[in-house]
Structure 1
Amino acid sequence: MEINTFRESNQFTYSWHAIGAGLLASFVGFASTFTLIVQALINAGATQQQAATGLMAVSIAMGLAGILLSFKYRMPVSVAWSTPGAALLLGLGVVKGGFSTTTGALIMAAFMLTLAGLWKPLSRAINKIPSGIANAMLAGIILNLCVAPVHALAAYPLYIAPVLIVWLIMLKIKRMLAIPAAAITTLAVIYFTAKVGNIHAGDIMPHFILVKPEFTFSGFISIAVPLFIVTMASQNIPGMAVLSVNGYKPDAAPLFTSTGVSSLFAAPFGGPAIGLAAITAAICAGEEAGADPGKRYWAGIVCGVAYLFYGLAAGAATRFISISPPVLIEAVAGLALMGALGNSLMNALSDKENRDATVITFLITIGGHAFFGIGGAFWGLVAGLAMTFFLRQRQLKAA
């Protein structure tokens, strides 16, 4: 059954199942990767206050987007920050020009995400990038992060051991809650081992700090373009697929445009890109949100409201993270990205026709070498596409 919009008389009646699913989705979405967002921004050159602002801005932006889109279309539209995009920032580190250049690149990526919804040829061009190439680039970006738990275990065994034990136990009991449980355990470890008394009220009060952006060609190529591609390929397109699988058939263009505009709101404050959610979308759009598909849009609304409250706690979360060893936070981020790494590698290598090109993309991306000030993710993509074109041309001539 295809579901486009819901205009029945009971469209405003809520569902407790949908409310519960929305709260669960927000908790999983935020707790699983907020440490990754903070660490990515700090590694990109942000101060602690700027990182807190970025986390708060992106949380509020995706909360508002989820509420408005779910209410307007009467569908459980879940919105999330770009986890692969944050992994990209974390892998790149501080770029020339510092956080100002990074912010300029975030604004350019947000503009392209908006344009993808307004100008369909752009989204069609992204769709033409072979899935294996896009997944290989993503796998190359996040592989080093997924090794972080091993490094943390070697450097801080007593710190990371409880986190890994809780993660393994929850994988067996309730896989979806494994990463949030690991994140909570990490916060508990920090609380009992760090100097929490040094945290003052002024450090955690929410406040916005605008970052003066610098727009550079290297920032555009190294950050904005890869960020746009991974957000489209790993967030927006899978997010549409999850809605479709559950019977919802929305027009992609306004959803892409809306999440792009939301990204434009968050970017000047250092907020990463925003796109449609995939994992949390499955919670809100599936049967877990209730038997009646016409009431599941409440899950998207409740999830959005919860993100607004989480955003107000960004200052406390960021300050708390700052007093812990960076490798410990990277370890939790690595655990959160293991599923994405597995899926990316599987999808990349399952493309038998372009396997050579996907391997080249993966190797160049993971190498991370910058040429002409342009990062490895872009060169990996270019090399993969060039090799795909070369091999296809050779096959055509042989035929």
Structure 2
Amino acid sequence: MSSDHSPSSVHWGDLTHPIVAGLISVIVNYGGTFILVFQAAKVAGLSPELTASWVWSISIGVGVTGLILSWLTREPIITAWSTPAAAFLVTALATTPYAEAVGAYIVSAVAFVVLGLSGYFERVIRLIPPGVAAGLLAGILLHFGIQAFGGMSVDPVLAGLLIVTYVVLKRVMARYAVVGILVVGLVFLLIQQRVDMTGLELKLAAPVFTMPEFSLNAMLSVALPLFLITLTGQYMPGMLVLRNDGFKTSANPIVTVTGLGSLLMAPFGSHAFNIAAITAAIATGREAHEDPSKRWIAGIAAGVCYILVGVFGVTLATVFMAFPATFITTLAGLALLGTIGGSLASAMTDAKAREASLITFLAAASNIMMFGIGGAFWGLLIGMLCYAVLNGELPWQRARGKAIGISAVEPAIRKG
């Protein structure tokens, strides 16, 4: 491991940007999608204690796994709970007893551990052409970029202030643009008294153990969809985010560690956590730090923030959710502008794959929903099929052809 990636090489002056990037990813995660967890808990009829335990388990689990993976790999491995899975559970928990749902969480987690140890997922990731991967990422993130400016119709003063601040800071001190919009936005909200902190009480969360029950119905109606939705909607784009920004850590340990974490936390309510996709892009790009070897600090910062939220249960999660939606969407969109632009540029670089990359981008941006599977999977599938048709062969076929050519030449060389 090079000295550039060692802890001693990180100076305090280098820490501000990755720490803020990690913090923003946490705020966006809680402020943007965490309401789905509360909705699912309400549908399931969970008590406040079980709901707080769910918050504790996914927050602590996400924090610890992200912190461990970022520390060991020296790469910004941001983990998160499965957002599409939480959306799925809003309907699934209406008809599934909670104890059986917990049993399904365990089965799904075991499947991810097996997948990580097998190494097959990493092999699949390596077969995706870089242009197609970049087009997929740009398509997934496009919605967030559009929302950054869509907030102008809802809250023009707040959204306009953030956008103007971002552009001005990009001109005069580009490194502090994302830090600046976070600070300016928070100050503006506090001055306007739009974030109510008066009733805030820090209460420690108490995890509640639920004895899992296993049924065929829960395996088919919860465990299997949970596994497929998390795999296609989170792990696949999450790994491509890392690859797009030049990080090469194998998917195998990431899938294994997050699967083990999900397994340990399932009896306390955690439905699934995994590598992040959208919020990870905030921490893996140049906005987090110009030097890629310093961006792993964002993973550490995010992990610590998640653990703090978990320790205090629902309290801090509720604070993040109290931020106006326009603040969250504009903050996320502006923080992702660099990644969106870089992904589009990468997608258009390779002339051979340009058409397929563009199709991938548009298909992913359209967010196709079929059979309960989200747009990331369909965008990738459509893009890969187009790449195969337009280029006549898939990457693994090309590799096999080369191997056949070498084996045909070897006898002639020996004869010679």
Q: Determine if the TM-score, normalized by the shorter chain, exceeds 0.5.
A: yes
Alignment of 1:25 with 2:18, yes or no, is yes
- Relative distance call for 1:207 and 1:339 in structure 2 (3 A) is farther
**Which amino acid is the alignment partner of residue 232 of structure 2?**
V
Match of 1:233 among 230, 235, 240: 240
Matched residue count: 366
- Counterpart of 2:33 in structure 1 is 40
Alignment check: 8 A CA contact 1:42 1:51 kept: no
Matched residue SS, 1:147: helix
- The 8 Å contact of residues 139 and 345 in structure 1, kept in 2 or not, is answered as yes
Match of 1:162 in 2: 161
Counterpart AA for 2:345: M
TM-score by length of 2: 0.67
TM superposition shift of 1:230: 0.7
Q: Which residue of 1 aligns with 2:270?
A: 269
One-letter identity of the residue aligned with 1:224? L
The secondary structure found in structure 1 opposite 2:78 is strand
1:340 Cα deviation from its structure 2 partner: 2.1
Counterpart amino acid of 1:269?
S
User: Which letter maps to 2:27?
Assistant: F
Q: 1:293 matched to which residue of 2?
A: none
User: 2 CA distance for matches of 1:298 and 1:155?
Assistant: 35
Identity in percent: 23
What one-letter code is carried by the residue in structure 1 that aligns with 2:274?
A
CA apart distance, 1:33:
5.0
What is the deviation of 1:147?
0.9
Matched position secondary structure for 1:79:
coil
Aligned to 2:284: 278
The match for 2:79 among 61, 78, 81 is: 81
Give the stretch that moved more between structures: 383-392 or 277-286: 277-286
Is contact 2:121-2:252 (8 Å) kept? no
Q: CA 1:95–1:67 in 2, change beyond 3 Å: closer, same or farther?
A: closer
Q: Please state how far the C-alpha of 1:269 moved relative to its aligned partner.
A: 2.8
Unpaired stretches in structure 1, ≥5 consecutive residues:
245-249, 290-296
Q: Structure 1 residues 137 and 251 mapped into 2: Cα distance closer, same or farther (>3 Å)?
A: closer
Distance of aligned partners of 1:36 and 1:319 in 2 relative to their CA distance in 1, 3 Å threshold: same
1:345 aligns with 2:344: yes
Q: CA deviation at 1:377?
A: 2.7
Query: Which stretch has the larger CA shift, 351-360 or 271-280?
Result: 271-280
Displacement after TM superposition at 1:128 (Å): 0.3
**Is the 1:170–1:178 contact (alpha carbons within 8 Å) kept by the matching residues of 2?**
yes
**Is the contact between residue 364 and residue 379 of structure 1 (CA under 8 Å) also seen in structure 2?**
yes
Q: Distance in 1 between matches of 2:358 and 2:93?
A: 33
Relative distance call for 1:108 and 1:82 in structure 2 (3 A) is farther
User: What is the CA–CA distance in structure 2 between the aligned matches of 1:364 and 1:146, rounded to whole Å?
Assistant: 16
Q: Given the superposition, is the C-alpha separation of residues 168 and 27 from structure 1 closer, same or farther in structure 2, using an over 3 Å criterion? A: same
Any conservation in 1 of the 2:63–2:79 contact (CA below 8 Å)? no
**Residue 341 of structure 2 aligns to which amino acid in structure 1?**
G
Contact kept in structure 1, 2:15 and 2:297, CA below 8 Å: yes
Aligned counterparts of 2:144 and 2:185: Cα–Cα separation in 1: 17
Q: CA deviation at 1:22?
A: 5.3
> Which segments of 5 or more consecutive residues in structure 2 lack a partner in the other structure?
43-47, 95-100, 213-217, 398-416
For 1:169-209, what per-residue CA distance to the aligned partner results, in whole angstroms no more than 9, with x for missing partners? 43345544432332333333333335545752358755658
In our comparison, the structure showing a higher alpha carbon Rg is 2
- The residue number in structure 1 matching 2:406 is none
Alignment of structure 1 residues 216-255 onto 2, 5 Å: 220-235=227-242, 237=243, 241-242=246-247, 253-254=252-253
CA contact (8 A) 1:206 1:315 kept: yes
Counterpart code for 2:275: I
Counterpart of 1:140? 139
Give, in whole Å, the separation in 2 of the partners of 1:302 and 1:33. Answer: 9
* CA pair 262-142 structure 1, distance change in 2 beyond 3 A: same
> How far is the alpha carbon of 1:349 from its aligned partner?
2.0
Residues 1:309 and 1:30: Cα distance change in structure 2 (over 3 Å): same
Displacement of 1:23 in angstroms is 6.5
Shift of 1:142: 1.9
